Structure 1
Amino acid sequence: MNFLILGELFKRMNEGGPIFMYPIFLLLLTCIGLSVKAFLKGDPNNKIKEIISHLSLFAMVWGFLGMMIGLIGAFDAISATNNDIATPVLAGGLKIGLLSPVFGMFVFLIARLSLIGLAFKNKN
């Protein structure tokens, strides 16, 4: 069962463009690792929280950059053809273009949730 989930994850990552999806995945792992470190060892000068904040924002912007580059390429291909583009082809292209920003937003939310948790931990 777990191999099916991992297989689907990597299939989606390849579908969304490995140039953008794999760095976002590495940013997710980095944010999780830094969050665990901050929870366990503390972060008295808030440097880890600042790094998590920057990495999460970078992940989201990187995802949107991937979408913009993909859409520009798709619209170039559409404008180069003289024929009508089928709706399923257009919908499939838009779906693929939206995978990297969705993943970037997911990483952003996970990192922000960890920052909220760290803020609550520091208040106690």
Structure 2
Amino acid sequence: MKLVELFYMGGPLFMSLVTIWGIGILVFTAQKLIHFFVQGKVTKSGLGLILLFGSLAMVTGFLGQAIGLIMAFNAIEAAGDISPALVAGGLRVSMITPVYGTILFIFSLIFWGALKEVYTRKSEKLV
């Protein structure tokens, strides 16, 4: 399966929102890395934004899943008798957005942890 297909299967609205939060993670991480390599220092301000955007990505993914499941259950209720294979396929599709959001959250934790460690080590050298 191609990534573009997964994007549209997961629902363009919520997948787009999760992608925007992922771009925020990259922007603030790049900003901190530029400060580190150009100025030789990492400030604590703004580090929390990396974690915030990661959290937003994960929560938006789970919100997209919840709304999708509610819509799917309404359709199942209206249709009546539905095959288990159809329900299983719908559940599989509903997991795309939260998995994407959780992966971005994991990356934000890694970036945040690494930059926080650099900040802590730089602070200890100054003392």
When normalised by structure 2's length, the TM-score is: 0.84
Pair 1:115 & 2:112 matched: yes
Quick one: distance in 2 between partners of 1:95 and 1:101?
11
Structure with higher Rg: it is 2
Q: What is residue 57 of structure 2 aligned with on the other side?
A: 59
Quick one: distance in 2 between partners of 1:101 and 1:34?
22
Instruction: Report SS of the residue matched to 2:80.
Output: coil
> Aligned partner of 2:113: which letter?
I
Quick one: distance in 2 between partners of 1:30 and 1:8?
24
Quick one: distance in 2 between partners of 1:68 and 1:107?
19
Quick one: distance in 2 between partners of 1:82 and 1:15?
24
Structure 2: state its 5+ residue gaps.
Answer: 37-41, 122-127
Superposition RMSD on alpha carbons, in Å? 1.5
Q: What is residue 10 of structure 1 aligned with on the other side?
A: 4
Pair 1:96 & 2:90 matched: no
How much does 1:26 deviate? 1.9
Quick one: distance in 2 between partners of 1:82 and 1:36?
51
Structure 1: state its 5+ residue gaps.
Answer: 1-6
Pair 1:79 & 2:72 matched: no
Quick one: distance in 2 between partners of 1:10 and 1:30?
20
When normalised by structure 1's length, the TM-score is: 0.86
Count of paired positions: 116
Identity across the alignment (%): 28
Q: What is residue 105 of structure 1 aligned with on the other side?
A: 102
